[in-house]
Amino acid sequence: MIIGLTGSIASGKSTVAEMLKELHLPIIDADLVARVVVEPGTETLKQIVEAFGEEVLLDDGTLDRPKLGSIIFHEPAARKTLNDIIHPAIRQEMLRQRDELLENGSKDIVMDIPLLFESRLQHFVEKILVVTVTEETQLKRLMERNNLSEKEAMARISSQLPLSEKEKGADAVIYNNNSLESTREQLYKILGKWNVLK
């Protein structure tokens, strides 16, 4: 079964992905893929520099992620420009990794895709698992984890569909406001129902 793991920024996808890794399930991580496809020398990085200028590069030629983030999380048009450049490359690499895992005999695969709904990638997966939290918890955890002001954190949260909308499109929802044990319990129950935990 191909499981799409999603949620919104700082809702707890990586936390759940870690729990899935402990169960030895293979994970395809869209955020990680998004880093690989912009490594120096790639066509994608070249296009980003053409669109945003040399100032989004660090001295060593790698992408200045905080700089690009500070542009695209505040400007919808700039975000669209970046998405149009980078998303095709991310999709291609994620599908390549999925096909490789299937060829090597993996039956259950997790695709961790933060923008699964925003990018309309529901057809990539067979089941959608949404990790959700209340808005207050999301804001608090994002500010703490990324050391962001409330304004910067809100800009990032507002760049995505509300979690309440994502919950509606889910096959299963994990409520991640409480302890990690509670989250793990919910996860195991869902995997059991889907026959992933035998």
Ligand X SMILES: Nc1ncnc2c1ncn2[C@@H]1O[C@H](COP(=O)(O)OP(=O)(O)OP(=O)(O)O)[C@@H](O)[C@H]1O
Binding residues for ligand COD, rule: CB under 6 A, are: 9, 30-31, 34, 65-66, 68-69, 72, 79, 82-83, 86, 90, 114-115, 159-160
Q: What is the largest CA-CA distance in the chain?
A: 52
Answer yes or no: is 11 a known binding residue.
yes
- Give the nearest distance from C-beta 198 to ligand COD in angstroms: 31
Q: Is 12 annotated as belonging to a binding site? A: yes
Q: How far apart are CA 9 and CA 21, in angstroms?
A: 20
- Which lies closer to ligand X via its Cβ, residue 159 or residue 183? 183
Of 7, 194, 3, 196, the closest CA to residue 114 belongs to 7
137 binds, among ligand X, ligand COD, none (CB under 5 to 8 A by kind): none
What's the start-to-end Cα distance of the chain, in Å?
13
Binds 7: which of ligand COD, ligand X, none (CB < 5-8 Å by kind): ligand X
Residue 44 in marked binding region? no
Which residues are at the interface with ligand X (CB under 6 A)? 7, 9-15, 31, 114, 141, 145, 176, 180, 183
Check the annotation: does 13 bind a ligand: yes
Closest CB to ligand COD among residues 156, 187: 156
DSSP letter, residue 63: B
Asked if 167 and 43 count as a contact pair (C-beta separation under 8 A), the reply is: no
Check if the beta carbon of residue 56 is closer than 8 Å to that of residue 49: yes
Encode 143-194 in three state secondary structure. HHHHCCCHHHHHHHHHCCCCHHHHHHCCCEEEECCCCHHHHHHHHHHHHHHC
The option from ligand COD, ligand X, none interacting with 44 (CB < 5 to 8 A, set by class) reads none
Output 9 or 110, the one with its CB closest to ligand X. 9
User: Binding site membership: which residues?
Assistant: 10-15
User: Binding site membership for ATP: which residues?
Assistant: 10-15
